[in-house]
Chain A
Amino acid sequence: MRISLFVPCFVDACYPQVAMAAVEVLERLGHTVEFPEAQTCCGQPPFNTGMWNEARVVARRHMRVFEDAEAIVALSGSCGAMMKVFYPELFSGDADEPLAREISSKTREFSDFLVNVLQVTDVGASFPGRATYHDGCHSLRELRLKRPPRTLLENVRGLELVEMDEAETCCGFGGMFSVKFPMISSAMGEVKCDSIEATGAEFVISSDSSCLMQIEGIFRRSGRPRRCLHLAEVLASRGSLPG
């Protein structure tokens, strides 16, 4: 299958290893990966701020970049949900509404794509360690992807997966919310980090690098660093720690 990869702007800039890992996993499974280089951002920041005109400008451009894609794989539940769930509402009544619907139906978050489109549950990865999985809210509640990432992780050799009490509780990131209401956002992040810590896991895995940015940021600032990894990094692993 010809797969067009959507690498969210902050993953491109801060976490290139995540996208490289995803490419590796998909290629290993025998698929052709394309990276449309004109892509930048999906438009979620202005959309969530309520500036839908501004969001439409950027989202429209983003849709054109992926117009000819056969399948779009988004490396973030949040940005994936933007394209899959929110584009149709954003372009409702607009000339580009049909395109928005088409892009929506072609877009899948990474774990969703592996498990539900490619029907792969074991990618042959091995990763020694004890880890807990954080459900990003968009993955969990907009895309309803509670199981796919866990199915994939359960088949990673050497990995011990432990659930935290607050697995489904928001980490507090929320995009602009994190800087508009830093006190609330940080308190939510602390609750999350305490719950992670209580599991004794060395690693935190998620399908959303933005949540991990928040979680890792709080752990590091409070002097109790913990390795945070995107699902793709774990799935690309062949026994040794990535990075």
Chain B
Amino acid sequence: MSAPSREFHRQARQVTRDLNHRSFVQKALDGYYRKRDEYSARFRSWQGARDLAFEIKFDAINHLDHHLEEFARKAEARGTRVHWCPDGGAATQTILEIARQNNVRSIIKSKSMTTEEIHLNDALEARGFGVFESDLGEYIVQLRHEPPYHIVFPAMHLTRGQISDLFQSELGSAPTNDPEELTMIARRVMRKKFCEADMGISGANFAVSETGMISITENEGNARLTTSLPRIHVAVLGIEKVLPRMEDLALFLPMLATSGAGQALTGYNTLIGGPRQSDEADGPGQFHIVLLDNRRTVILADPEQRDALHCIRCGACLNVCPVFKNVGGHTYGTTYPGPIGSVITPHLRGLQSWKHLSAASSLCGACTDACPVKIDIHHHLLRNRRNAARKKPVWWERILFAGYIVLMRSPRLYRLGLRLGRIGQKFHPLVEGTRLDPLRAWTATRALPPLAKTSFREQWKARRR
């Protein structure tokens, strides 16, 4: 068992037992389900919209080279600097360089999972830069020194009381249970940071290749400040973010809002097309786009799972996943938790170390039905399992299934197995559910169905006679 797998098991055991966590997450998501259904019903056809989104993304990803080059060309034409970074190290280096060359001291960030993926904050802080998250949820988990719990709702695991306690101890604020008051506390701190910051780092939800613009979706307005107030703006985005045409946003913006947060449209949708132009009065003097590969091209090279790059990081698959809801976001130990994380993490960080995530699924398929861009999520988990077993089968599974084949190939042995099972069953109550029980993995929490006195095939034979 790999170290990440051991850790996953350990945390899963802990969190699944926590009934408070279970009901809290359930309640947190109930409102989302209602709103998501309400707004997806407002599409003339939600399923039709998904089909169309799939087609657009299919084109974008299958002609990624073309669209990316067009995007970069158009962006550079308006004075944007585009940096092509093969991995996290290169991206971090690039951003550090920009910061150093421009005597940057303080950095403000808006929400970006891509920067989480490359651990940008750690790298910047280690070099002495002050880094502040301006998205409320991100700010909260930053104060707690923990990674986001969810890709859209980073602090969804915390109660208002916990947040109040955190603000009290970290910021010295007075205790309160009022969400607005809590927001105001954070806002007072953030405002100051916005004014001090000389560099703003954002992510992007989409990159429109036709115009060379990035599109950012948010509900708090903090991304607008992050990208317009400081003198330098750096946007970090994965190469899969590309959409071919501006008009594609007419579909993707409402879709992302509906799937992601149960909204018709997200509060603020911003398009950024370059640094301050000569005839403009304000805006950052420099705009850098960091295009990150970081093994996305490994997924691109796999025709079976290429559609995993369609992902718009809406989080819908997490919200409907019974595994996610029961183990929680932190248990995965990945930047991207939940179903899509279980699909892509083995590609991004190594199949053998992360294959357990693909095994930790009942393959129920709720994720695939929820995905707005129709990624074949749960079947990819199955394909990851196949790829892992093909390269390095687990020894005990090999033995188990060798025995299984022998049994299933011969109806006579199969019948003999049944008879032995019935004998074994007589003695099973002696150890049932205890440490000596060979079936303990099942029986510790569940009763075992008894083998019938006569199997169907025996009854069938008797009936024919």
A65 to chain B, nearest CB (A): 10
Chain A residues in 8 Å Cβ range of B387: 50
A128 in contact (CB, < 8 A): no
B389 in contact (CB, < 8 A): yes
Q: Are B404 and A183 in contact (CB under 8 A)?
A: no
Q: Are A20 and B397 in contact (CB under 8 A)?
A: no
A98 in contact (CB, < 8 A): no
Q: Are B12 and A184 in contact (CB under 8 A)?
A: yes
Chain B residues in 8 Å Cβ range of A200: none
Tell me the bound Cα distance from A217 to B442 in angstroms.
Answer: 9
Q: Are B322 and A169 in contact (CB under 8 A)?
A: yes
Pick the residue among B364, B385, B448 that contacts A141 (CB under 8 A).
Answer: B364
Q: Are B322 and A188 in contact (CB under 8 A)?
A: yes
A46 in contact (CB, < 8 A): yes
B414 in contact (CB, < 8 A): yes
B251 in contact (CB, < 8 A): no
Q: Which of A9-17, A100-108, A109-117, A150-158 participates in binding chain B?
A: A9-17
A242 in contact (CB, < 8 A): no
Q: Chain A interface mostly helix, strand, loop or mixed? A: helix
Q: Are B322 and A191 in contact (CB under 8 A)?
A: yes
Tell me the bound Cα distance from A20 to B464 in angstroms.
Answer: 13
Q: Chain B interface mostly helix, strand, loop or mixed? A: helix
B386 to chain A, nearest CB (A): 4
Pick the residue among A48, A178, A184, A213 that contacts B16 (CB under 8 A).
Answer: A184
Whether A141 contacts B368 in the complex (CB less than 8 A), given A40-B414, A49-B397, comes out as yes
Per-residue contact bits, chain A 1-40, to B (CB 8 Å; 1 contact, 0 not): 0000001010111111101100000000000000101111
Could you list which residues of chain A lie within 8 angstroms of chain B, going by C-beta atoms?
7, 9, 11-17, 19-20, 35, 37-41, 43, 45-52, 54, 57-58, 61, 137, 140-142, 168-170, 172-189, 191, 213-214, 216-218, 220-221
7 closest A-B pairs (Cβ-Cβ)?
A: A174-B362, A50-B385, A217-B446, A170-B364, A50-B389, A16-B456, A220-B447
Could you list which residues of chain B lie within 8 angstroms of chain A, going by C-beta atoms?
9, 12-13, 16-17, 22, 26, 322-323, 326-327, 359-366, 368-369, 382, 384-390, 393, 397-398, 401-402, 404-405, 407-409, 411, 414, 418, 421, 441-442, 444-452, 454-461
Name 29 interchain pairs, CB-CB below 8 A, sorted by A: A13-B418, A15-B449, A16-B452, A35-B456, A35-B457, A48-B385, A49-B401, A50-B385, A50-B386, A51-B398, A52-B386, A52-B389, A52-B390, A54-B402, A57-B409, A58-B404, A58-B409, A141-B368, A141-B369, A169-B322, A172-B362, A177-B361, A177-B363, A179-B442, A180-B441, A181-B12, A183-B13, A188-B326, A217-B449
